[in-house]
Amino acid sequence: MESSKVLAAIVDDELPVRKAVGRLLRSAGLEVQCFGSGAEFIDALAGGRPDCVILDVHMPGMTGFDVQARLHASGIRLPVIFITAFDDPDAAQRLEQAGAAGFLRKPFTDEELLQAIRLAVGAGDSKTERR
């Protein structure tokens, strides 16, 4: 019997980021769904939920904070690992308050992301941060 793979959703408005992170996660044995916007991701939830979400903080339209707020308002609890290229000193605190399972600043290493996913999926309420 084959064990089921972890399904990770990547939500980032930058195609190169989605492609690179998607390749990494697939090579690590995860299933991957990619979304170019928060709204696209929210709409897709009707078809099933991922085991974790890699979510860009700064996106046009619906930000990562907006997506997380929408999930909480709908009663959907998913481990979310926020990623950002912006160096906002208050971001880590705001993201933790928003219920983040992890927070990584770009650029991050492959191992940092994979470890954050392992922690998020394996211990639903574990927190990880890289400053």
What is the pTM assigned to this prediction?
A: 0.88
Domain residue extents for the chain = 9-129
Asked if 68 contacts 80 with a C-beta cutoff of 8 angstroms, the reply is yes
What pLDDT, on a 0 to 100 scale, did the predictor assign at position 125? Answer: 40
Mean pLDDT value across residues 25-45: 98
CATH number of 9-129: 3.40.50.2300
Q: How many CB atoms lie within 10 A of CB 71?
A: 22
Decide if pLDDT at 127 tops 60: no
Contact status, residue 37 vs residue 62, Cβ threshold 8 Å: yes
